[in-house]
């Protein structure tokens, strides 16, 4: 154990277990344990699992191994007050078999005006339960998340397979204590007829943006990377490696939207646009010059809104397209000295939620990703104690990597994520504050 880890262990932060991240050999566990809080298992969940390359075990007693790598709790059938007791017993009796780096996924019905008070109360209780459980199992580098199914998602098995696959795989290693909702599934369309889909990533020259571009290339996209003039060399090198196209552009410029419209016409429209470009200009509000306030809002928020407006007006995003905007945990929890940054990143969350209904008519989804502490060149420059505390202030006790954000982008950008829109997925290891 290093001196740093010994010091933080004395402060109550034990040395974390390393996270298993995705590679071609460890996508899904061989076995998935599927247990229900009632006597019946939801048929949509079972059908969704049958589409995945894994074995379904419906009883913990049937385990041939001593450890559980993936556990699904079917909480879709609230019966009465006894459902709380069954939730407790079902999960408790499996925890002793839980492996390190295990995945727990709770699936339940979302709250709805069509449901009675008892059912809605139970649904809300699962959020507190899962976040607390996530903080307990996080010591073993394990995660807990929830998928809610909305009333209108009648054939939800069509939309469940991809989220289940993501949350049970090592692609979601730094995501815990989070919820996603499966909405209406009537916007499923055929894949684009083009042989190669086009993805645009802003701020692609380094860090998270570079990781996103690389991951999308792996998924078969032709990637257009965008960055500013000072990043020209880095961007050119990244895009050359990915056989993509580099574009030098200030996204906050007045003509950025029109330039991207022209670019979209050259490529037959965009299939995925990732608004990753962002800046921090930290000062307490009392000492913040107006230019730092405006610059941060322009780049982090207003450029996103203006570019999307231009692209949508000219139908430059193809039907079935995906828009993903980068928010931040500081937009959720706030941070001293970052009123400008937190304002812009909180606004992104409200923006994607508000745009959801409008874009659904075009069969386009829009979502946000809110990273927590991600290990980048920027975090290396932080003061030692601030950096180390940032790493440890989550359920998994460690910082995330750019690839963790890139995996989330790939998941939400997938055509099989058609029933997830207007939502924010936090890639933060379950921050202790602000979730």
| Enzyme catalytic residues | 341
Q: How far is CA 202 from the centre of its chain?
A: 18
CA distance readout (Å), 427 to 53, 148, 331, 417 = 25, 18, 13, 17
The whole-angstrom separation of Cα 373 and Cα 400 is 6
The whole-angstrom separation of Cα 408 and Cα 198 is 18
The whole-angstrom separation of Cα 169 and Cα 369 is 18
Q: Pseudo-torsion of CA 266, 267, 271, 272, nearest 10°?
A: -80
Helices (H) and strands (E) in the chain, counts: 15, 13
Which H or E run contains 367? strand 365-371
Write out the two tokens for 248: 């030098």
CA distance readout (Å), 282 to 104, 179, 253, 279, 291 = 38, 30, 22, 10, 12
| DSSP structural state of residue 50 | H
Beta strands 68-74 and 31-36 are parallel
What spatial distance separates the first Cα and last Cα of the chain, rounded to whole Å? 30
The whole-angstrom separation of Cα 430 and Cα 132 is 10
Neighbours of 369 (CB within 10 A): 28
């Amino acid at each position: 154990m290093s001196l740093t880890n010994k010091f933080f262990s004395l402060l109550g932060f034990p040395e974390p277990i390393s996270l298993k991240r995705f590679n071609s050999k460890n996508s899904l566990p061989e076995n998935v344990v599927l247990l229900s809080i009632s006597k019946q298992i939801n048929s949509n969940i079972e059908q969704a699992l049958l589409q995945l390359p894994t074995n379904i075990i419906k009883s913990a007693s049937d385990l041939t191994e001593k450890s559980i790598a993936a556990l699904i709790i079917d909480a879709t059938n609230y019966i009465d007050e006894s459902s709380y007791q069954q939730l407790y017993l079902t999960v408790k009796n499996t925890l002793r078999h839980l492996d390190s780096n295990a995945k727990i996924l709770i699936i339940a019905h979302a709250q709805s005006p069509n449901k009675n008070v008892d059912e809605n109360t139970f649904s809300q209780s699962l959020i507190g339960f899962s976040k607390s459980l996530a903080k307990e199992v996080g010591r073993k580098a394990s995660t807990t998340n929830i998928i809610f199914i909305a009333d209108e998602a009648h054939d939800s098995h069509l939309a469940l397979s991809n989220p289940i696959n993501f949350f049970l795989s090592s692609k979601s290693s730094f995501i815990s204590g989070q919820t996603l909702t499966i909405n209406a599934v009537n916007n499923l369309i055929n894949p684009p007829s083009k042989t190669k889909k086009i993805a645009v990533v802003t701020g692609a020259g380094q860090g998270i943006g570079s990781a996103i571009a690389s991951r999308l290339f792996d998924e078969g996209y032709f990637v257009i990377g965008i960055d500013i003039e000072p990043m020209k060399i880095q961007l050119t090198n990244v895009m050359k490696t990915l056989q993509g196209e580099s574009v030098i552009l200030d996204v906050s410029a007045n003509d950025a939207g029109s330039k991207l419209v022209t670019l979209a016409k050259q490529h037959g429209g965009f299939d995925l646009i990732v608004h990753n470009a962002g800046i921090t200009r930290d000062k307490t509000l009392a000492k913040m010059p107006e230019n730092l306030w405006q610059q941060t809002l322009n780049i982090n928020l207003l450029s996103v809104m203006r570019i999307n407006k231009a692209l949508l007006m000219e139908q430059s995003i193809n039907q079935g397209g995906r828009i993903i905007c980068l928010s931040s945990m500081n937009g959720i929890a706030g941070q001293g000295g970052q009123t400008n940054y937190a304002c812009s990143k909180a606004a992104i969350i409200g923006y994607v939620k508000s745009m959801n209904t409008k874009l659904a008519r075009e069969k386009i989804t829009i979502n946000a990703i809110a990273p927590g502490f991600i290990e980048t060149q920027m975090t290396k420059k932080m003061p030692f104690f601030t950096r180390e505390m940032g790493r440890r202030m989550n359920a998994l006790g460690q910082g995330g990597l750019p690839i963790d954000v890139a995996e989330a982008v790939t998941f939400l950008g997938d055509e099989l994520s058609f029933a997830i829109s207007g939502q924010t997925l936090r890639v933060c290891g379950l921050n202790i504050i602000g979730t």
